[in-house]
Every structure is written in structure tokens, then in C-alpha cells.
Amino acid sequence: MKITKNGRPNREYERWCTVDGNTFRYLTLGSGPPILLLHGLLGFSFSWRRNLEALSKLGTLYAIDGLCAGYSDHPCPMDCGMTAQAERILKLMDVLGIDSAAIVGNSHGGAIAMMVAALSAQQGRSRVNRLLLVDPVHPWAEYEWQQTLLIDCPPALVTFGPLLLKSKFLQRIFLRRLYGDTRKLTAETLEGYMAALPQAGTLEYGTGVVKTWRNDLRELERLSPKLAKIPAMVVWGTEDHAVKIESAPRLCQVFDDCEFIPFPGSGHMPMEETPELFNALATRFLGCQNGHC
């Protein structure tokens, strides 16, 4: 996949959908039961590029660029709280005619996936039938000191955020920390992520998410009993330096039916670092929608 200057990756699959006056970009391919793919903070649908073909055999994929991420609209100001973001996904599902879906979420997208499921269940209409969580942010997560500093010290965030978006050097360091084996971080991957970061509103979105981080996770913890009956799979890179794998067992206790699978040697995004293994496990788990467990 070649990414040209001022171009967008996976343009052959992209579609556009307007919700409450703001336009989402999303990738769609395949047919059958809906499967939503939610990316992490400062990522976009590009994160799923190595999974699209394999997972499209299981259903209709919707790999979404969240607002203020990737090539969706970047409205500013915007409510960046987790509840607001989950409600936007539910509204997007309404516009797309999706009544119920399996959701695959990585990092912050994993937390939003759980919030979508919990909110819809609280409203008396469960709209998530399966959750595949990939190194997800969650209320019991453990972080390294760098992440804790940015979350709990606003001056550090205000200083680091602009530097990250302006410096290609810092962007490379940031992305390298998300990989367990940095030899797998290709020039194409760096180019793809860095091309989408400079858009207006990206910094405001990132800082808005972090500022509400603790309150959002407390709300997700409050709603977590609503997740109990949803079949879940939790996969985690053993070399994740963003959200520690040691917190995974506590998350799994939320679900009555949860399979936990560590990915030896992978970092925070095993779906793109170890796509063959991830695709095989996702196929087994998501294929159960069709009764092929």
C-alpha cells in the first residue's frame, strides 16, 4: 500500500457519513454481520490496514476515523469525553442502519468500545454482541510513569503535546515505544501515521481526552456491570509500554465469558505488529457471530 503526499491510505474502501453536522470517514468492505473497528488515541483506521482483508471474510467491516482523528472532520471545540464519543458511535450506527455489531477496539478505542456497549445496555437496547479488546485502556489499567505524568500533570501535557505534533523525531520515538519489536516499524507505517497528525484540532482533541481521562474511567467502572453478559476476548502484547499487561486479569473479571490471550514479544498494537496471529484469533472469535465457533 503506497501512501502519497497529501493522500489518504486505503482510499478504495473509504466512505463518508455525516452525524450531527460532522463528517466521519470510515473504511468499509466485506458483507454479513457488522464489525466496527475503533482505533486508539492519535491513531486512525490506518491501524487496521493489516487486518482488513482477513476480517472482511467474517462480515461487513466499518473501520472508523473518530472525529478529530485521521481524515474525519476535526471540529473544535468538541466534547472529548468518553461518554460523548461513545454516543457519537451509537449515532453513527443509527445513520448507517446498524442495529447491533461486534466491536474491535484498540487502546483508547477499546475503552470507547466498552462504553458503547455499557451505554446501550443501560438504555435497555444492547447493541454490542461481541467485544474484542486489544491492549485496551480500562478503569484498572496500570501505566508507566511517563503516561501517569501526562494524565495527572496538565502542565506536562500542555508542553509535550505541541512538541509531539511538530517534531518528526518525537513522533518516531513515540511510535517506536508502541512496538515490542521496533524492527517491525516500517517507514510506511511512520509515514502513514505522521501524515494525519498535523491537522488543526488534533492537539485540542488529544489534550481534551487526557484531561477527562480519570473521570471517564470512573464512569466506565460504574457502568462495567452492564458488560457482564457480552462475550469478550482480550488480547495483549507482553511488551506493551503504554498500558501494562499485568492489569488484564482484573479487566477480564468484568465479563462472565472472557478469553485472555497474551501476544509474546508484541507491544501496544499487536494487530499491526503480529497481524497473522491476531487475524487468526479474531477470525475464531468473531466467526462465532455466524455460528461457526
pLDDT digits (tens, 9 = 90+) for 170-191: 888 889 999 999 999 999 999 9
How far apart are alpha carbons 110 and 252 in whole angstroms? 13
Cell of 265: 514479544
How far apart are alpha carbons 195 and 176 in whole angstroms? 16
Q: Which of 46-55, 145-154, 219-228, 252-261 has the lowest mean pLDDT?
A: 145-154
How far apart are alpha carbons 34 and 58 in whole angstroms? 9
pLDDT of residue 4: 36
CA distances from 145 to 29, 189, 244 (A): 40, 26, 11
pLDDT of residue 120: 96
Average pLDDT over residues 11-35: 96
Pick one of 3.40.50.2300, 3.40.50.1820, 3.60.15.10, 3.90.950.10 as the CATH number of 11-290: 3.40.50.1820
Do 244 and 251 form a contact (C-beta atoms < 8 A)?
A: no
User: Looking at the predicted structure, is the pLDDT value of residue 210 above 60?
Assistant: yes
- SS3 state of residue 72: coil
Report the predicted TM-score, pTM, of the whole model to 2 decimal places: 0.94
pLDDT of residue 207: 86
- Percentage of residues in the chain having pLDDT higher than 90: 73
pLDDT of residue 152: 73
User: Looking at the predicted structure, is the pLDDT value of residue 1 above 50?
Assistant: no
Residues near 185 by beta carbon (within 8 Å), at least 6 away in sequence: 175, 176, 179
**Which H/E stretch holds residue 96?**
helix 82-96
